[in-house]
Amino acid sequence: EDVLLPAPQNISILSTNMKHFLTWSPVIIQGETVRYSVEFQGEYEREYTNESWIPICECSLITATVCNITEDISATVAYNLRVKADVGARRSEWGTLKGFFNRITTSLTPPLMKVIAEGYHLLMELEDMGPAFQFCVLYWKKGQESRMQQKVVKEVSSVVHLDIMEAGSDYCVKAQTYVEAINRSSSFSHTQCVRAQDGRSMWL
C-alpha cells in the first residue's frame, strides 16, 4: 500500500459551551476528492487497552474538514484525536492533534437572557444550552447590591419566575452558566434591569 498522501495538518479543536469540533486543513490533490477519517482515544484506552483508537463513524470518509466530536468527548479526561486522508486506495499517515484535549478547557460564554417585569413579578427567559448546563441567577433591588439574591435554574423552560418585586422599584438581574461535569462557570452576562409596576392598583 503506497503512502502518497500528506497527512492532514493544522489539526485543532474548537470547543465552546461543551460542543467540541475537530478541524484541520484540507489536503489538496489536484482533480481528486480527498476524504478524511477521524479517530479518538481516551485516557482509558491509553492506560488499559494498549492505546487503542476508536473510529467516529459519522466522520469516516467525509469530505468536510470538520468533525463534531461532542458525543465521544463525554468524560472529563484527556483525549487524543487523529485524522487521516484517503483518495481511492491511497491514504496518508495519521495526523494527530498536538497535545491532549480535555473538555474542562471548553470556553463558556455568558447565557443569553431577557428579563421581564409583569406586574410585581420578576421573570426571565434563558437560552436552553443543553442538559449539561445549569444557570446561576443573581438579582437585587437597585441600590441594594449588598442584598443580592441567588437562584439556580436547572431545567430551562421558556419564562422562569424569579421573585416578587416591591411596587415601583427597579430590579436588576445577571446570570452565568455552570457546568457540573467540569465544575466551571462562565462569566456573568450583562446586567439587565426592569421596573415593577407602581403601587396604584392598575385594576382600578
Chain positions contacting other proteins, by CB under 8 A: 40, 42-45, 47-49, 54-57, 71-72, 74-77, 79, 118-121, 123, 131-132, 153-155, 157-161, 164, 179-181, 201, 203-204
Q: Where are the beta strands (DSSP E) in 30-112?
A: 35-41, 54-55, 66-68, 80-87, 90-91, 95-96
Closer to other proteins at the Cβ: 24 or 40? 40
C-alpha cell at 3: 503512502
Rounded to the nearest whole angstrom, what is the least distance from the CB of residue 101 to other proteins in the complex?
Answer: 12
Closer to other proteins at the Cβ: 28 or 57? 57
Contact of 51 with 41, CB cutoff 8 Å:
yes
Closer to other proteins at the Cβ: 5 or 126? 126
Distance of CA 93 to the CA centre of its chain: 31
Contact of 67 with 59, CB cutoff 8 Å:
yes
Rounded to the nearest whole angstrom, what is the least distance from the CB of residue 86 to other proteins in the complex?
Answer: 18
Rounded to the nearest whole angstrom, what is the least distance from the CB of residue 108 to other proteins in the complex?
Answer: 14
DSSP 28: P
Rounded to the nearest whole angstrom, what is the least distance from the CB of residue 200 to other proteins in the complex?
Answer: 11
Backbone angles phi, psi at 146, to 5 degrees: -70, -20
76 sits in the region (left: phi over 0; alpha: psi -120 to 50; else beta) called beta
Closer to other proteins at the Cβ: 32 or 48? 48
Rounded to the nearest whole angstrom, what is the least distance from the CB of residue 94 to other proteins in the complex?
Answer: 18
C-alpha cell at 163: 421573585
Secondary structure of residue 30 in the 3-state scheme: coil
Closer to other proteins at the Cβ: 136 or 181? 181
